[in-house]
Structure 1
């Protein structure tokens, strides 16, 4: 019987919160797009990762409704679990490293799926936002302390697949970092933390804490 690892990715400093991620270590047990889409929908996490080659770090990322060439919190979580120096995604090779309590990945902004980055003037505005109707993928953000690079954010996928709000979204953090051109310390959702740093070659590092959250059966 296959067991699926469940992780919380981008946990806060107290080890709480983070975005739940399912990782299927033996992806060969779910061959084909339909089997993977069905499992991702049944699990109901914002993303599920199928590991097709653990030594090479070859992964396949699914939302409950579609495949993603790249996504941030699945890559951070898979890198932590597999403890590999890189992951091979459909978008390209994602470098990975461990640094104390943080796991970091390095990726190109153009690999991230399109997001609408919507700036607000005050973190309280972000906190008060209602759930938008399905359609547009919105990353709402505001400076909480601009000089220190601190950001308050919430993410609304708008996919209509049951995931109304993402607790922590690495790809959107990557895009915001590329737009602003500076390192960020992002508080997202109920209390998740994402750290980012732009690199000289145009890539962006995204890092966070990962905690195990048990296993489930498919």
Structure 2
């Protein structure tokens, strides 16, 4: 069996919740894309990361059904695990930093695969949403406190891979931050927390707490 770590990324203030992430620290044990895809499908996490160079931070990201050029919670989790200043993804070089209990990455909105950002009038409406039909990746959100930048969100990938709802999605949070042009404090899923902040020249920081599950 291939060795891998399991992290929870974007944990809540008390360390609970967060989106599970699988990380294979030695990507050389599964060098072929087809084998990596099959292993990611077997694990069943929303994303699994294969580390191809731990010192340079070269990584390869997979959902259970497809390879991603960039994704938020895998980058935050892997940056925390490797404790590196940057990650090299197919989309581009992702900056990374540790700041107390938070790990931050810096990335660009154009790296994010298509998402539908759908605003609702109240957080209660977001809470009550059923899982929508497959086919469209939906990030449903509403203001909890617009003046303070506090947001309630849920994420529905719309894929036929067993992941009906993502507990925490950094890439969608990045897109929302880029659209609104302001820092956000997002409560997603059952209690995960994502922090974001626009940066100069089209960059956006996304941060959260990471816990090593096993």
Report the TM-score, using the length of structure 2 for normalisation.
0.99
- Once residues 2 and 24 of structure 1 are traced to their aligned partners in structure 2, the CA distance between those partners, rounded to angstroms, is 8
State the match for 1:73 in structure 2: 73
How do 1:160-199 and structure 2 match up within 5 A? Answer: 160-199=160-199
- Once residues 154 and 51 of structure 1 are traced to their aligned partners in structure 2, the CA distance between those partners, rounded to angstroms, is 28
Report the TM-score, using the length of structure 1 for normalisation.
0.97
How do 1:14-29 and structure 2 match up within 5 A? Answer: 14-29=14-29
State the match for 1:111 in structure 2: 111
State the match for 2:158 in structure 1: 158
CA RMSD of aligned residues (A): 0.6
**Secondary structure of 1:147's aligned partner:** coil
Q: Unaligned 5+ residue runs, structure 1? A: none
State the match for 2:8 in structure 1: 8
**Secondary structure of 2:200's aligned partner:** coil
**Secondary structure of 1:114's aligned partner:** coil
**Secondary structure of 2:35's aligned partner:** helix
Aligned length: 214
Q: Unaligned 5+ residue runs, structure 2? A: none
State the match for 2:213 in structure 1: 213
Question: Residues 80-123 of structure 1, C-alpha deviation per residue, up to 9 Å, x if partnerless?
Answer: 00000000000000000000000000001000111000000000
**Secondary structure of 1:77's aligned partner:** helix
Shift of 1:2: 3.5
- Once residues 124 and 135 of structure 1 are traced to their aligned partners in structure 2, the CA distance between those partners, rounded to angstroms, is 24
How do 1:39-58 and structure 2 match up within 5 A? Answer: 39-58=39-58
- Once residues 153 and 93 of structure 1 are traced to their aligned partners in structure 2, the CA distance between those partners, rounded to angstroms, is 27
**Secondary structure of 2:14's aligned partner:** coil
- Once residues 85 and 101 of structure 2 are traced to their aligned partners in structure 1, the CA distance between those partners, rounded to angstroms, is 16
- Once residues 37 and 164 of structure 2 are traced to their aligned partners in structure 1, the CA distance between those partners, rounded to angstroms, is 18
State the match for 2:62 in structure 1: 62
Question: Residues 34-93 of structure 1, C-alpha deviation per residue, up to 9 Å, x if partnerless?
Answer: 100100000000000000000000000000000000000000000000000000000000
